[in-house]
Amino acid sequence: MALVYDEEFAELVADAGRRRRRFVAWTEDAAGAARGGRRDPRLEDLIATGDTSGLPAPAARGRVVILTSGTTGTPKGANRSQPKSLAPAAALLSRIPLRSEEPWMVAAPMFHSWGFAHFTLGMMLGATLVLTRRFDPEDTLRAAAEHRATTLVVVPVMLQRILELAPEAIDRHDLRALRVITASGSALPGPLAARVMDRFGDILYNLYGSTEVAWATIAQPRDLRAAPGTAGRPPMGTHVRLYDAEGRPAGPGATGRIFVGNELVFDGYTGGGGKDVVDGLMATGDVGHFDDEGRLFVDGRDDEMIISGGENVFPREVEDLLSHHPGVDEAAVIGVDDERFGQRLRAFVVRGAGPEVAADELKAYVKENLAGYKVPREVVFVDELPRNATGKILKRDLAARP
C-alpha cells in the first residue's frame, strides 16, 4: 500500500510511511519533500513513468474512508461504500438548486465530508471547481468573483470570518453571479444565518448531518428566515425520527435523540464498532426536537448535556442566545464539576467589535431570556475559540483549561 501525502504533513506521517512507498501530492518546490535525508517522488513523477497499459476492472466497488471531526476524542475512520444509485444526489438537488456546468467556489476542506461531497457531485454535474490552498476570507471572495462562481461551499465559521471583513472589502468583489451558498459541518447560529442573507441575499442553504449518516435535514432560505436556528427538513429518501433514552419514539414537541435512515449511512468504523441503531435508523449523536411545521432543531450533542442542580441543560440554547447579544462575537458553553449543583455552566465568550461587554451583563441577559438554572456561573473572555480544521469548536480543549 502506498502513502500519498502533502509536503506540510511529512513529519506527521513519517512513522506511518516508513515501510511504504511514499509519494508527495503537493509541495512548495518542484523537487518533492525531503525528510531525514530522503526525498520522496511526486505523483507527477509516478504518472510520467507509470505503465499506461489497460488494467482489469477491480473485483469490488471502491470505498471511501472519511475521518470524523474528533471534537470529543481521537478522529475515527468512517467506512462509506458507493451509493447504489443516483437517488442520494437527486435528494440533495431537490433541496439545494445546484446546476451543472457552472463554476463552484469550494472553500470547505476536501478531506471533510462536506467539501468531498461537492467534489464528487461537481464531477457528476460537470461543474468547474475553484479551489484555494488555504481559506482566507477576502481571497475566497476574490476567487469567487474572478471565476463568476454561482455556488459558494463553506463551513459556518468561514461565513463568520467573511462577515468580519470591512464592508468595503466585501463590496470590492463582484458577486452578482452567486446564487447559492451551502453551509454544513458545524452548527449555524440563527443570527449568523440572518446576517449572511441580509448581506448576500436569501441564497443560504444549511445542511445538518454527520460523517456517519451523511445528511439528515436541509434548511432552505425560507426556513432560516421563518425559524432562525432550524436545521430544516429531511430531503426525499431520508427519514428522521426522535427517540428517548429507552429507545421509544419521542412524543410530539419532545426532545429526543436524533436517528436517521438513508442510502448513505456508513458501514462502521475502520477500528470496529459503529453508532446506535433503532428500527433501522442510525444515531447522529445529537438530540433535538421538531416544531409544528416539521422543521428540526438540534439542541446539542447527547453527550454534552449538563445536569445542574437536577435540571438538564443543553449548551446550544445558551450559546445561541449569547451569540444574539450585540457585544458577543461567538460563545461556547461547557459543564464543569460543582460540589453543590453537580455541574455548573461555564461560558467562553469572544467579545464583539462594539463597546466592551462585562460578565455580569451577559449573566443578566441570559437570566432575562432563559430559566435561572441556565445562567452561566462563570463567563471567561477569550480572544478566540479553539477549533478543528472544519471549524467545529473543540470543547475538550476548553474543558482542559484551569
Mean pLDDT, rounded, for 171-188: 94
Indicate whether 125 pLDDT > 80.
yes
Number of domains in the chain: 3
Cross-strand partners of 296: 232, 290
CA dihedral 107, 113, 114, 116 (to 10 degrees): 60
Q: Is the same domain home to 108 and 240?
A: yes
- Pairing state between β 306-308 and 296-301: unpaired
Q: Is the same domain home to 214 and 131?
A: yes
- Residue at which a domain ends, from 239, 271, 301: 301
- Res 186: pLDDT: 84
Place of cell 467506512: 79
Nearest CA to 233 out of 94, 97, 80, 68 is that of: 94
Q: What is the DSSP string of 293-331?
A: TS-EEEEEETT--EEETTEEE-HHHHHHHHHHSTTEEEE
Indicate whether 353 pLDDT > 60.
yes
- Residue at which a domain ends, from 256, 274, 301: 301
- Res 252: pLDDT: 81
* Cα angle 249-219-76, degrees, rounded to a multiple of 5: 70
Q: Compute the mean pLDDT over every residue in the chain, rounded to the nearest whole number.
A: 88
Full domain range(s) for residue 335: 306-399
Percent of residues, the chain, with pLDDT higher than 90? 49
Mean pLDDT, rounded, for 1-25: 81
Q: Is the same domain home to 316 and 243?
A: no
Place of cell 435523540: 257
Q: 58 in a domain, yes or no?
A: no
What CA–CA distance (Å, rounded) separates 22 from 33? 10
- Residue at which a domain ends, from 268, 301, 334: 301
Mean pLDDT, rounded, for 266-294: 90
DSSP 8-state secondary structure symbol assigned to residue 354: S
Indicate whether 70 pLDDT > 70.
no
- Residue pLDDT, tens place only, 361-372: 999 999 999 998
Mean pLDDT, rounded, for 47-72: 81
Output the 3-class SS for 103-138.
Answer: EEEECCCCCCHHHHHHHHHHHHHCCEEECCCCCCHH
Q: Is the same domain home to 293 and 323?
A: no
- Residue pLDDT, tens place only, 25-38: 888 765 555 554 45
Q: Is the same domain home to 294 and 315?
A: no
pTM reported for the whole predicted model: 0.82
